[in-house]
Amino acid sequence: MSKIGYTAQFDPATTAKAMGYEINVSPKHCVEVLRQIRGMKVTRAKAFLENVIAKKESVPFKRFARNVGHKRHQTGWGSGRYPVKASKEILKLVKHAEANAEYKGLEPENMEIVHASSQKGRVIQGIMPRAMGRATPWNIETVTVEIVLGEVR
């Protein structure tokens, strides 16, 4: 595996970062969840992700919204879902970045998510046997997610 770096450069003295390599979640769900938490304060982002996991608050699906139902409690954008698996993994990364901020001597309560992005990881090949000696691809997509926390100005 080649070394994967961050897609943006930030001042190490005022930021804390965390990255998850080849996480087994949907790339489309990661894009939508990260779009929603980008710019949030850390405490609000953690509360939002915990509400998504508990299915109390939905994530607006703006880009990948074909055949996505509308949620009554959502304001500003109709279509949304509850991507629980992606939210659990992203919540772990937010907590890791928060711990990195504490280790650096920064105050995580005063930090916000200044950068959150995802890239497609490698595809784990798989097959599903079918009738008459045929097979269908049954691949697993992975995602690399990066989160950077910065101090609020």
- Looking from the CA of 11 toward its CB, the CA atoms found within 13 Å total 5
User: Which positions of the chain have pLDDT values less than 50?
Assistant: none
pTM listed for this prediction: 0.90
User: Residue 95 has what pLDDT?
Assistant: 97
Say how far apart CA 98 and CA 149 lie, in whole Å.
8
User: Residue 74 has what pLDDT?
Assistant: 78
CATH class of 15-151: alpha beta
What are the domain boundaries of the chain? 15-151
User: Residue 59 has what pLDDT?
Assistant: 93
User: Residue 84 has what pLDDT?
Assistant: 97
User: Residue 1 has what pLDDT?
Assistant: 57
Q: What values do phi and psi take at 77, rounded to 5?
A: -150, 130
